[in-house]
Amino acid sequence: MIPERWVLASASPRRRTLIQLLGHPVELLAVSIDEAPAPHEQPTACAARLALAKAAAGARLAPDALVLAADTVVDLNGAILGKPEGMQEARAMLQALRGCPHHVHTAVALYNPWRDELLLEVATTQVWMRSYTDEEIEVYLATGDPLDKAGAYAIQHPGFQPARMVEGCYAAVVGLPLCHLARALRRWGWSPPEDLPTRCQSTLEHVCSVYPDILAGGGNRRSKSPAGQEAP
């Protein structure tokens, strides 16, 4: 059992668009936490910790609601690329990613007050960037889009289109792995729409081959813990 009231602890318009595909009303609740990585923190651990922190912050503001939160980390050979602090850092990130493969880890944390329980899903997707030019970087920087994105890019940006290939959940790179979220909710007795994968692919204009495995429980990490304890 889960509460009827759902809250998304995020101000991200991309996550707002994706979560609406679940077909359940969701309130938006922006939370503020320190998103700086801890010293020597691994990328997946960082994404999980921050998602759990956002869920905890949301639960304090909406104690009667099912709280959903997410965090995305770009991982370039073990180095965490967060949101750039300015154009210079954004430029450096895009240059470092150019022509290279990297991983994107998006953690989703859910808090159910009726069960006093947290669920955590971590989706990892490998992305190969194309060899875009310095001129293309400058044009993209001029849009201002990179400044609120982990790794300084939006994979779905229609003008820049930075990626040439993706292996894994594309929605996770956008910011919210819907199938991971759906299978977590299913553990609490909520049934996702049968056409959720179709809705996601249509919205993102991306053909997905991994959703059957994810919805069946395969791929990437799942865990749960009582409230107040960080999931491993």
3-state secondary structure the chain: CCCCCEEECCCCHHHHHHHHHHCCCCEECCCCCCCCCCCCCCHHHHHHHHHHHHHHHHHHHCCCCEEEEEEEEEEECCEEECCCCCHHHHHHHHHHHCCCEEEEEEEEEEEECCCCEEEEEEEEEEEEECCCCHHHHHHHHHCCHHHHCHHHCCCCCCCCCCEEEEECCHHHHHCCCHHHHHHHHHCCCCCCCCCHHHHHHHHHCCCCCCHHHHHCCCCCEEEEEECCCCCC
Query: Does 71 participate in catalysis according to the annotation?
Result: yes
Catalytic residue, from 34, 64, 71, 213: name it: 71
Catalytic residue set: 71
